[in-house]
Chains A and B, each alone.
Chain A
Amino acid sequence: MLAYISPGTGSLFLQVVLIGAAGALVAIRSYWNNLVNFFKDLFKKRTP
């Protein structure tokens, strides 16, 4: 990545770590929501 201002190596490193963590959290939340929805659907199907 070449920019006309220096992104700063430390800043770039921190940002990549933070985005990685945030991405993981987003993925976990999405997985969790899917799981919850799966059981909700299951529960709904059983009730007449």
Chain B
Amino acid sequence: MNIESPTQTLPGSFRDPSGFMFRREGILYRQINPSYEPEYRHLMESGLYRKLVQEGLLISHEEEPGQRVLRPALIPFISYPYEWCFSQLKQAALATLKIQRTAWAFGMTLKDAAATNVQFLHGKPVWIDTLSFERVQPDEPWVAYRQFCEHFLAPLALMAWRDPRLGRLTQSSVDGIPLDLAAALLPRRTRWIPSLLIHLHLHAKAQQAFSKTRPGAAANKPVQVNSRGRLAFLDHLESAVRSLRLPARRTAWSDYYETSGYSPEETESKKQQVARLLDRVQPVPKTAWDLGANTGLFSRITSRRGIFTVSMDSDMMCVEENFRACADRKEQNLLPLWIDLTNPSPALGWAHQERMSLRERGPADVALALALVHHLALGNNVPLPRLAESLRHGCRWLIIEFVPKSDPQARRLLVSRKDVFPEYHLRGFEAAFEEFFVTRQKVPVAGTERTLYLLQAKEESA
């Protein structure tokens, strides 16, 4: 983000009366409003904060002396639920329930359950809103039950039971998927699954039945519930989330490395070539974006060097496979995300300021664009100069592979369509990218007609 003033309130945090986020001299802070201070004190003094931070469930922070200002640990890359694969959303849901269970044990509760309060840090979901906790009595129900179902259970159920791509619904419904919509989209047979029947189908009916209730009639009256029943209820919600699984299936991309025609030796040789180009990037990069990462084979070249790498692909099943591998190997520097570069995440929410566009979250120190150019240029008709300009916004250094029309993969893209790309050739590629980048190295990819480039972005003219 651009920082113009010394103290800048972040526009995305206006909803919460407990406090807000601001940036001063490039550092992110959280202001606590006086009304929230007693709740914050309880969070810190009851031991809840320490317990949640120890378990990696809540972002840690330092207090600025005497100012009601917190300095939270930094999240290397802010991502949003519509960019997560199924397992990322499921892990975030389970983390939220675990936080709620722990909070109850310390006499507090989560007052909201927005999926955007979860971010990924060191490969695991972490709650980032320190001001989401408030004190409750042991006989109070969970105020954020509705929000949990709309933000987590509904999209997960739709992805598991209808189609994984429905995860994108969370982009158009930024405040959660309305339960009547989820119930209408789910297959009828999900009514026979008790957890989905209760928390989604009946829940939607209950909302509808009470939609004409007089203002203030019931919601404002204190409601008392059984405290043991409250925990059993949370168990049931958790088992509902745990039971959701993606159907096993392959997509056009998820077996790319097996079917791309490369031998294991050629793939290894290309990895070494990329690694050598990366050695030349100065200063040593801290962040990397792997664009069109598939299951993240090349993302590991940067992440294993300690460079925080965002591994983007437009195929959700590839992202799913990538994330599961990250989770299995406990990889800390890799964040797989479901991002379609031909239609990247826009700025969303009130005044376009609640969620950042992908471009606002850049630029990365280095970007990898391997086996990507032909898909964007030939598959999506993006002229090379426009592609170069767009990549210039996303990174300071670029390792990019040019795939000529004679390459088998490029030929496949042109087999069923008219070749309307007379400028798509090596010279055209170089001319387009020279506008925005300086070529630092150029090497042919062994065993192919492809060429790898190490490019450095030119300074933007004012």
Interfacial residues, chain A to chain B (CB-CB below 8 A): 1-16, 18-27
Partner of B146, one of A8, A19, A22: A8
Of B17, B141, B210, B233, the residue contacting A10 (CB under 8 A) is: B210
Known contacts: A7-B145, A22-B232. The answer to whether A13 contacts B225 by CB under 8 A is no
Q: Across the A-B interface, give the 8 residue pairs with the lowest CB-CB distance, nearest first.
A: A23-B229, A23-B226, A11-B146, A22-B232, A10-B207, A10-B206, A10-B210, A9-B210
Q: B residues within 8 A CB of A27?
A: 228
Q: In the complex, A37 Cα to B117 Cα: how many Å?
A: 46
Scoring B residues 224 to 248 as 1 if CB is less than 8 Å from chain A, else 0, what string do you get?
Answer: 0110111011001000000000000
| B144 in contact with A7 (CB, 8 Å) | yes
Can you spell out 7 A-B residue pairs with CB atoms less than 8 angstroms apart? A3-B143, A6-B146, A10-B207, A10-B209, A13-B210, A18-B236, A19-B141
Chain B contact residues: over half helix, strand or loop, or mixed?
loop
Is the beta-carbon distance between A12 and B229 smaller than 8 angstroms?
no
Q: Contacts A2-B220, A16-B223, A22-B233 hold; do A8 and B207 have CB atoms under 8 A apart?
A: yes
* Cα–Cα, bound, A14→B220 (Å): 16
Interface centre among A11, A21, A26 (most CB of B within 10 A): A11
- State how many angstroms separate the Cβ of A6 from the closest Cβ of chain B: 7
Q: Which of B211-219, B287-295, B334-342 contacts A (4 or more CB under 8 A)?
A: B211-219
Partner of A19, one of B18, B219, B229: B229
- Nearest B-chain residue to A3, judged by Cβ: B143
Nearest CB of A to B104, in Å: 12
Further contacts, 17 of them, CB under 8 A, given A3-B111, A6-B219, A13-B218: A1-B219, A3-B143, A3-B144, A9-B219, A10-B206, A12-B223, A14-B202, A14-B206, A18-B198, A18-B233, A19-B229, A19-B232, A19-B233, A22-B229, A22-B236, A26-B226, A27-B228
> Per-residue CB proximity of B380-412 to A under 8 Å, as 1/0?
000000000000000000000000000000000
Nearest-neighbor residue (CB-CB) of A8 within chain B: B146
Residue B203 is within 8 A (CB to CB) of chain A in the complex: yes
Contact B228 A13 (CB under 8 A): no
Residues of B within 8 A of A25 (CB): 232
User: Does chain A have a CB within 8 A of B354?
Assistant: no
> Which residues of A are found within 8 Å of B230, using beta-carbon distances?
19, 22-23
CB distance from A44 to the nearest CB of B (A): 28
Cross-chain contact B17 with A9 (CB below 8 angstroms): no
Most chain B CB atoms below 10 A, which of A3, A15, A24: A15
